[in-house]
A = this chain, B = another copy of it.
Amino acid sequence: MAEFIEITDGAPIGQRGPAEHERRAQILKAADEHFRHYGYSKTSVAALGRAIGVSAAYIYRFFDSKQAIGEAVVAQVLSEMDAGLHEIAVGPELATARLRRLLLTMMQCSCDRFLKDQKVHEIVVVAMENNWCATVDHQHAVENAIRRVIIDGRESGEFERKSPLDEICSAIVAASLCFSHPKLLESESNEELERRLTIVTSLVLRSLAP
User: Could you tell me which A residues sit within 8 Å of B by CB distance?
Assistant: 128-129, 160, 163, 167-168, 170-172, 174-175, 177-179, 181, 183-184, 187, 195-196, 199-200, 202-204, 206-209
Please indicate the chain B residues that have their CB under 8 angstroms from the CB of A196 in the complex: 174
CA distance A168 to B204 in the complex (A): 11
B167 and A199 within 8 A (CB): yes
Judging by beta carbons under 8 Å apart, are A203 and B204 in contact? yes
CA distance A170 to B128 in the complex (A): 27
Tell me the minimal C-beta distance from A167 to chain B in angstroms. Answer: 5
8 closest A-B pairs by beta carbon, nearest first, are A207-B207, A171-B199, A206-B207, A175-B175, A171-B203, A177-B178, A174-B196, A174-B178
For the complex, what is the distance from the CA of A168 to the CA of B200, rounded to whole Å? Answer: 9
Task: Report the minimum CB–CB distance from A129 to chain B (whole Å).
Answer: 5
User: How long is the Cα–Cα vector from A174 to B199 in the complex, in angstroms?
Assistant: 8
Nearest to A175 among chain B residues (CB) is B175
